[in-house]
C-alpha cells in the first residue's frame, strides 16, 4: 500500500511530534508498504494561522492509497481515504485559551479567529474515515470542543529494547526539552525541601535561553549545586539509555501534556518508577499512583516528599519500576497493535 504520513513541524525543533511520524514510517516500510513523509512548516501564531491553513487544502496526495495525519493542521489535507492519528489541537485556541500559555489577548479579534478555526477544524475532522487519538485526554478534548468521537491509540517508541535496567543509584532523571511548560523549575524547587541524599539530573536542549538561565540561577540561589545537575545539551540515545538504566527513578511533570510523553514510556521500558503531578495531563493515564510511580500535587513540598519516598523505600521503588514495564503491556502499547488499527 502507498501511504502518505502527513504532519506539520516547527523548523529546527525535534521532539515527540516528529518521532511518531518517523518511527511509524520505519515500521510501515518494514512491513512492505511504500511510505512518503509529508512535513509542512507551521507556526501557531494568529497572524499566520489561516494563511497556513489554506496551503493544506491545495496539497494533492491522490497518488497515495491512504494518508495518515498527525500534528495540526495536517488534518485539513483532502483525501478520500484520510485517517487521523490526532495528537493535539492548536492548543492556544483550545484548552490553553484560559491559561498563561495562550500568548495573545482575549479580545474580539482573537475570539473571532477562534470561532473560524473551530468551524474549519470541524469540517476537516468530518472528512476523516477514522480518527485515533494518542490519549484519553485528547479524546476528551475532541469531544468537548468539536463533538467528534475517536479511538485511543497509544504511540509506542522505536527499538524499545535499547532501554534496560542495570542498577539503582541515587539520581532522579528528567530528560526532555527544557521549557517552562515542562516545569523543570518545579522539581528544582522541590530539591530545596528534600531530607534524603537523593540527587536530581535534568537534561535537554531548549528554545529559551532565558528559561535555562532561570534554572541555573534557581539552582545557585537555593544552594543546590551539589544536588542538582543541569545538562543543557542534546542527549544522545545511548546516553539517555545509560542514564535511565542506572537511575533510581525518572520524573516527567509537564503542564497538561497531551499524552503520557516519551520520557514516561522510555522510563517504563527501563523498569523505572515515574514521578509526575496531578495536572500533567495524559501522563496520569500511564502512571497509577503508588503502583508504577507517584502522582502528586504540583507543588515543591509534595514533590519533595515523593522524592524522599523514592529514596527511602528502595524496595518499593524497584517494585514500582517493574510494574511500570508491565503497565505497557496492559495498555497494549506496541507497534503490532498500531498497525492493526491504522490499516484496518
CA-based nearest residue to 304, from 174, 148, 150, 198 = 198
Q: CA-to-CA distance for 290 and 279, rounded, in angstroms?
A: 17
Q: Which residues contact 185 (CB under 8 A, 6 or more apart)?
A: 214, 215, 218
CB atoms within 10 A of CB 296: 21
In this prediction, residue 80 carries a pLDDT of 97
In CATH, what class is 160-330? alpha beta
Q: Which residues contact 98 (CB under 8 A, 6 or more apart)?
A: none
Express each pLDDT in 200-242 by its tens digit. 999 999 989 999 999 999 999 999 999 999 999 999 999 999 9
Express each pLDDT in 179-204 by its tens digit. 999 999 999 999 999 999 999 999 99
pLDDT along the chain (344 residues), means of 10: 94 79 96 96 88 93 98 96 96 92 93 95 96 96 96 94 96 96 97 98 95 97 97 95 98 93 96 98 95 98 98 98 95 95 94
In this prediction, residue 9 carries a pLDDT of 86
Instruction: Encode 141-173: b = buried (16+ Cβ within 10 Å), e = exposed.
Output: bbeebbebebebbbbbbeebebbebeebeebbb
CB atoms within 10 A of CB 287: 26
Alpha carbon of residue 17 to chain centroid: 8
Phi-psi region of 135 (alpha: psi -120 to 50; beta: other; left: phi over 0): beta
Q: Record the pTM.
A: 0.88
In this prediction, residue 43 carries a pLDDT of 84
In this prediction, residue 204 carries a pLDDT of 96
Helix (H, G, I), strand (E, B) or coil at 13: coil
In this prediction, residue 215 carries a pLDDT of 98
Asked if 284 and 231 touch (Cβ cutoff 8 Å), the reply is: no
In this prediction, residue 4 carries a pLDDT of 98
Q: Which residues contact 203 (CB under 8 A, 6 or more apart)?
A: 173, 174, 175, 231, 233, 235, 239, 240, 243
Q: Which residues contact 79 (CB under 8 A, 6 or more apart)?
A: 4, 61, 62, 64, 66, 67
Q: CA-to-CA distance for 118 and 296, rounded, in angstroms?
A: 34
H or E segment and range at residue 318: helix 314-330
| Domain 2-153, architecture per CATH | 3-Layer(aba) Sandwich (3.40)
Label residue 90 exposed, middle or buried (CB < 10 Å: 0-12, 13-18, 19+): buried
Q: CA-to-CA distance for 44 and 288, rounded, in angstroms?
A: 33
In this prediction, residue 268 carries a pLDDT of 98
Q: CA-to-CA distance for 9 and 7, rounded, in angstroms?
A: 7
Instruction: Encode 232-249: b = buried (16+ Cβ within 10 Å), e = exposed.
Output: beebeeeebbebbbbbbb
Q: CA-to-CA distance for 85 and 338, rounded, in angstroms?
A: 10
DSSP state, residue 248: S
In this prediction, residue 101 carries a pLDDT of 86
Q: CA-to-CA distance for 87 and 309, rounded, in angstroms?
A: 34
Q: CA-to-CA distance for 128 and 150, rounded, in angstroms?
A: 11
Peptide bond into 275 cis (omega under 30): no
For the chain, give every residue range classified as CATH 3.40.50.2000: 160-330
Amino acid at each position: 500500500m502507498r501511504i502518505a504520513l502527513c504532519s506539520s513541524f516547527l523548523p529546527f525543533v525535534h521532539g515527540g511530534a516528529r518521532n511518531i511520524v518517523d518511527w511509524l514510517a520505519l515500521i510501515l516500510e518494514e512491513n512492505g508498504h511504500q511510505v512518503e513523509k509529508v512535513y509542512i512548516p507551521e507556526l501557531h501564531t494568529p497572524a499566520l494561522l489561516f494563511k497556513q491553513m489554506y496551503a493544506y487544502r491545495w496539497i494533492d496526495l491522490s497518488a497515495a492509497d491512504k494518508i495518515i495525519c498527525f500534528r495540526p493542521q495536517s488534518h485539513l489535507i483532502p483525501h478520500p481515504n484520510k485517517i487521523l492519528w490526532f495528537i493535539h489541537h492548536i492548543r492556544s485556541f483550545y484548552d490553553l485559551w484560559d491559561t498563561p500559555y495562550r500568548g495573545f489577548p482575549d479580545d474580539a479579534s482573537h475570539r473571532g479567529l477562534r470561532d473560524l478555526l473551530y468551524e474549519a477544524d470541524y469540517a476537516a475532522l468530518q472528512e476523516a474515515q477514522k480518527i485515533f487519538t494518542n490519549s484519553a485526554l485528547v479524546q476528551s478534548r475532541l469531544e468537548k470542543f468539536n463533538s467528534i468521537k475517536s479511538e485511543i491509540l497509544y504511540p509506542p517508541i522505536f527499538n524499545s529494547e535499547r532501554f534496560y535496567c542495570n542498577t539503582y543509584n541515587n539520581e532522579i532523571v528528567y530528560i526532555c526539552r527544557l521549557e517552562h511548560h515542562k516545569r523543570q523549575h518545579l522539581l528544582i524547587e522541590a530539591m530545596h525541601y528534600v531530607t534524603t541524599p537523593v540527587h536530581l539530573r535534568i537534561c535537554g536542549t531548549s528554545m529559551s535561553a532565558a528559561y535555562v538561565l532561570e534554572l541555573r540561577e534557581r539552582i545557585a540561589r537555593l544552594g543546590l549545586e551539589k544536588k542538582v545537575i543541569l545538562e543543557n545539551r542534546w542527549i544522545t540515545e545511548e546516553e539517555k539509555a545509560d542514564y535511565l538504566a542506572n537511575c533510581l527513578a525518572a520524573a516527567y511533570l509537564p503542564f497538561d501534556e497531551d499524552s503520557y510523553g516519551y520520557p514516561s514510556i522510555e522510563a517504563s521500558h527501563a523498569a523505572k518508577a515515574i514521578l509526575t503531578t496531578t495536572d500533567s495531563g495524559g501522563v496520569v493515564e500511564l502512571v497509577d499512583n503508588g503502583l508504577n510511580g507517584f502522582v502528586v500535587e504540583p507543588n515543591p513540598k509534595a514533590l519533595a516528599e515523593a522524592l524522599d519516598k523514592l529514596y527511602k523505600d528502595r524496595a518499593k521503588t524497584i517494585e514500582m519500576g517493574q510494574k511500570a514495564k508491565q503497565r505497557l503491556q496492559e495498555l497494549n502499547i506496541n507497534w503490532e497493535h498500531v498497525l492493526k488499527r491504522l490499516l484496518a
